Structure 1
Amino acid sequence: MKRLLLPIAACALLLASCTDAPDAEKADATDAKQVEQAAATDASYTVDAAQSTVEWVGTKPTGRHHGTFKIKEGNLMVANGNITGGKFIIDVASIKADDQDAEGNKKLEGHLASADFFDVQKFPNGTFEITSVTPASGTANVGDTSKIVATHTITGNLTLKDVTKSISFPAAVTMTDNQVNADANFNIDRTQWNMNYGSDKSLGDKFIRPEVNLKIHLVATK
């Protein structure tokens, strides 16, 4: 029995290590779109940086890493119960990893902050600026196992490393008179923003998938 169990356990471990990118909508990158000026009558909601989060997940054949970015500041414009525009700044230099011990996390954070990836000395911030918000239906995956109803499709210009691309993704938006919440979970191809390190499949176990998962929770208040 022990001889039988050992190969089974080894196979299970091998399968578990072949980690795919998170199951989420792929936000294809296209040329940046024009940003329309908000009307003077639109209400402005200020992004609450303390309550808002950006989580990231990167994967490779042998596993995955995950962590967070802080949001510096931002605002959402609202008219007649609809988001009409907005922008927020991602503090890329704040990148944290949280899936290893302290030494492992620090080493990974240093590599991600280097010129191989985000090059935070040259590009400490990233931005996302909304160009359109349209009604949507369906489900938006906000975690590995949970889904919520997508109320809108958000399109905007994502700038990382001084490269700006338009992306669209489903989001769940809830709104009261004094607060707007928006949740989204999607994958981007990091090579579209000049982060090519490890993206060659011929690298075998050293291959790092170009897909990066971003999960955004945004809270904005009057």
Structure 2
Amino acid sequence: MKQLKSIALALVVALGTVSATAQTTKKVDAAKSKIAWVGKKVTGQHEGVINLKEGALVFKGKKLVGGNFTVDMTSITVTDMEAGKGKEKLEGHLKADDFFGSDKFATSKLVFKTIAAKSTNTYTVTADLTIKDITNPITFDIVVNKNVATTKLIVDRTKYDIKYGSKSFFDVGDKAIYDDFELNVHLKF
């Protein structure tokens, strides 16, 4: 009888250890998630949104250990301008080859490579970001709280061969567009 109790106890401990180390993939709800972008130029800025196509976060227990996302580049929208007042022209230009070339490159991807706990619910992530089939590493902090994750990414567009209006490559004076653009990401899973 003692031996049976010992075996049962060992089995409970073993199963507890296995479940504590198992990974869980949580699919992101693309319809309830939001990616807002901000692009700045010498004379101001523009804002908009872009849709997440799909994504997932991977957890080991409650600890974030992975993630991957696909963004629909054809969905880029300008939100700071009204229809008929330049909105359509700017959206078309952002989708053109000068910028994201969304006819040829309909999606962009982000794949987590390394994750380090920074503080409670906050992680520093280094990921591979692919835009226009060009991949570069990017590092950012992400906060995970219950079923929500938020982050802000600063992306240097010139690393992805998006040089239009860049003062780093052209003498454009006060028509310069800054190389960095900002993505404010709110994920629900």
TM over 0.5: yes
Q: Which residue of 1 aligns with 2:136?
A: 165
Distance 1:78 1:212 in 2: 29
Q: Which residue of 2 aligns with 1:214?
A: 183
Does the CA contact (< 8 Å) of 2:24 and 2:61 recur in 1? no
Q: Which residue of 2 aligns with 1:197?
A: 164
Q: CA deviation at 1:150?
A: 7.3
Q: SS in structure 1 opposite 2:177?
A: coil
The 3 A distance-change label for structure 1 pair 46 and 210 is same
Q: SS in structure 2 opposite 1:197?
A: coil
Percent of aligned pairs sharing the same letter: 38
Q: Which residue of 2 aligns with 1:113?
A: 95
Q: CA deviation at 1:78?
A: 0.9
Q: Which residue of 2 aligns with 1:94?
A: 75
Q: SS in structure 2 opposite 1:93?
A: strand
Q: Deviations over 1:50-106 (max 9, x none)?
A: 111111111111110000100011111111211111211101110000101112211
Q: Which AA in structure 2 matches 1:117?
A: F
Distance 1:93 1:150 in 2: 32
- Give unmatched runs, 5+ long, in structure 2: 1-20
Q: SS in structure 2 opposite 1:192?
A: helix
Q: Which AA in structure 2 matches 1:170?
A: D
Does the CA contact (< 8 Å) of 2:37 and 2:48 recur in 1? yes
Name which structure has the greater RCO, CA cutoff 8 Å, separation 6+.
Answer: 1
Q: CA deviation at 1:166?
A: 1.1
Q: Which residue of 2 aligns with 1:155?
A: 126
CA RMSD of aligned residues (A): 1.6
Q: Which AA in structure 1 matches 2:126?
A: T
Aligned pair 1:81/2:62, yes or no? Answer: yes
Query: Which ranges of 4 or more aligned residues in structure 1 deviate by more than 6 Å?
Result: none
Q: Which AA in structure 2 matches 1:62?
A: T
Q: SS in structure 2 opposite 1:210?
A: strand
Distance 1:109 1:72 in 2: 19
Does the CA contact (< 8 Å) of 1:53 and 1:69 recur in 2? yes
The 3 A distance-change label for structure 1 pair 174 and 150 is closer
Instruction: Compute the TM-score of the two structures, normalised by the length of structure 2.
Output: 0.83
Q: Give the number of aligned pairs.
A: 166
Distance 2:121 2:152 in 1: 10
Aligned pair 1:134/2:116, yes or no? Answer: yes
